[in-house]
Structure 1
């Protein structure tokens, strides 16, 4: 089981992941997680500038940023994904206090919508951690998980290029199990999830009943299906989950509300 690290702000604990993002994070008592969603996805540099203004409006620094939801025009090949992550980290470091060799503690989901009007990678939403003396520390955000074990590539992909019924079930079971393990590492349960996001190109009529076996909260809060693909070619399913205290909409002119 991965041991979570405490963020330098003391506001949350996170599970180390790759260089560009963590595996997920959970707020500590006295803090809540709020999602700021753009009215329409914004290119990364524009989005980060807008988030900076919103943080300032809340009298918070960049350390309050906890997660980023990205949308890409199409899935990347392996080389393209590596290049994108280099660009993303360079941009992040312009705003967020990261040392040159420090891995990002932020959660991240990055998917490619099936019907995408995007011409470049964009930000759909961000999650921020804000102080709240009444908060009990139940909010969390996990990074999106696809059917991949370890380094990206065919040998580590569950049911690689297998879209049979058995292949789909193997992919979904793996991803659900990985999410459950991450929640356990954070000291949480799958029943703590309030939002379960599934990114697949087409609806699977059995998916909700299968995932309800892992996330009992789906029976009350439902399942959110996004017609989208994971960010790398030859991956077919991505799932993320979170629990938020509030959501607000960001536009170019208006300040978000929380």
Structure 2
């Protein structure tokens, strides 16, 4: 079930306090994705995002998704502390109300040349469609998800094939994560056929399962971008996100 975030002109799939499972632009609006040419530390990234959004004539509440990079995978306690810090800016912007967060997010850890501090890689915001152009269908961003089941319990209790890096273990991790993306897409009434980009984050060889679990299921419709990075929590091994975005620029 989705919820409306009228102040941002988008709806979202509720998840946890640090992020939503996805954001989808309202009719008459589109999503612009802005990727930074160089990683920016968190505070600087937020400041640059705010400046760009305001120059585009939009409110800060139009901020709907972000892609972050961290130095290394967090412990559960470390991840909680980071998230509590991260949402402070969203609260100041009138987006996070202390309980519900409409902003979709991915946060992964580059294996090679990681940033010294948590940093911005990209962000998305909602803006009106210009002129008489009409969107063929709504823009959306699906948040990053890894091979951890929802619900109560620690990560070791919820991770699919916990610490199993065998070919069979990786196959199950990939299959679960692809299924999670499909569930989130379905929450908006979409499927892989509606995406314009899919990203994968892992340091492991997933090629043996790529055709069966990704290509045949439609996840590679627009190709597949592989980032040699780890998910944000220790012992998670495979993460994905996907999107349909009308505007993409690099600054």
CA RMSD of aligned residues (A): 1.5
User: Which residue pairs with 2:45 in the alignment?
Assistant: 47
User: Which residue pairs with 2:148 in the alignment?
Assistant: 148
Indicate yes or no: 2:163 matched with 1:161.
yes
Give the structure-1-normalised TM-score: 0.90
CA contact (8 A) 1:28 1:136 kept: no
User: Which residue pairs with 2:134 in the alignment?
Assistant: 134
Shift of 1:9: 3.0
User: Which residue pairs with 2:99 in the alignment?
Assistant: 102
Instruction: Identify if the C-alpha distance between structure 1 residues 178 and 117 changes in structure 2 by more than 3 Å, giving closer, same or farther.
Output: closer
User: Which residue pairs with 2:182 in the alignment?
Assistant: 180
CA distance in 1, matches of 2:108, 2:84: 17
Structure 1 counterpart SS, 2:53: helix
Structure 2 residue runs without a partner (length 5+): none
Shift of 1:224: 0.8
CA distance in 2, matches of 1:19, 1:117: 26
Shift of 1:214: 2.0
User: Which residue pairs with 1:30 in the alignment?
Assistant: 28
CA distance in 1, matches of 2:158, 2:242: 23
Q: Any residues of structure 2 matched to 1:1-258 within 5 Å, and which?
A: 3-9=1-7, 11-99=9-97, 101-132=98-129, 134-150=134-150, 151=152, 152-209=154-211, 210-215=213-218, 218-219=220-221, 221-250=222-251
- Kindly report structure 1 stretches of 4+ aligned residues shifted beyond 6 Å: none
CA distance in 2, matches of 1:235, 1:29: 36
Cα deviation digits, residues 189-219 of structure 1 (max 9, x gap): 1211121100011342234313012225x25
Structure 1 counterpart SS, 2:6: coil
- Give the count of matched residue pairs: 245
